[in-house]
Amino acid sequence: MAANHDSSDSTLRAALEANGHRFTEQRAAVYRFLAHTNIHPTADEVFLNVRSNVPGISLATVYKSLETLVGCGLATRLSYSDGCARYDGRTDPHHHARCLACGSVSDIPGHLPDRYLQDLHARSGSFRVIGYRLELTGYCVACAPGLDVGVPRTSA
């Protein structure tokens, strides 16, 4: 996976330096993990995954590294009203489906047609719209297996 590291490291280095930050091995380890996962991890989950590769790294360093990546546009932070924050290394347009039971977040590729956004914009009055975020909420297949289509029902 050396080639993978090289290309993600050079992307990271360029973005960090453009924003006045230094390239560090800790930031690189956090970015490598985030760029290759689709679980939208919390800072704790990132910490658990990178600490075996980066001895001595702390949760505080992981948290600061994640926020640095967000500041450089290499990641986004998904904040929820319960105070939980998850991080997403995928920055191309996509939406999210969040499970109300376990909190897992999965990706839905693509984006809404422009006319939907224009329609919302037209109804937003004097609010100046610069973007939008769409999140579907419900239950993942692990939390609501009985809702899966086609599950045979047996009568007792």
Name, in order, each residue with C-beta under 8 angstroms of 105's C-beta and a sequence gap of 6 or more: 39, 40, 78, 86, 88, 96, 97, 98, 99
Backbone dihedral region for residue 103 (phi beyond 0: left; psi -120 to 50: alpha; all else: beta):
left
Residue 104: both structure tokens together: 């897992």
Tell whether residue 99 is a contact of Zn ion (CB under 5 A).
Answer: yes
Binding residue (CB under 5 A) for Zn ion from 14, 59, 84, 101: 101
Helix (H) or strand (E) holding 86: strand 85-88
Contact segment (CB under 5 A) with Zn ion among 62-70, 79-87, 119-127, 136-144 equals 136-144
CA 31 – CA 84 distance, rounded (Å): 20
How many residues bind Zn ion (CB under 5 A)? The answer is 9
Tell whether residue 143 is a contact of Zn ion (CB under 5 A).
Answer: yes
Residue 99: both structure tokens together: 């499970």
Least distance from Zn ion to the Cβ atom of residue 128, Å = 25
Contact segment (CB under 5 A) with Zn ion among 13-21, 84-92, 109-117, 148-156 equals 84-92
Tell whether residue 48 is a contact of Zn ion (CB under 5 A).
Answer: no
Tell whether residue 141 is a contact of Zn ion (CB under 5 A).
Answer: no
Least distance from Zn ion to the Cβ atom of residue 72, Å = 17
Q: Which is nearer to Zn ion, 18 or 102 (CB)?
A: 102
Residue 118: both structure tokens together: 């224009």
- Contacts with Zn ion, residue ranges (CB under 5 A): 88, 90, 99, 101-102, 104, 107, 140, 143
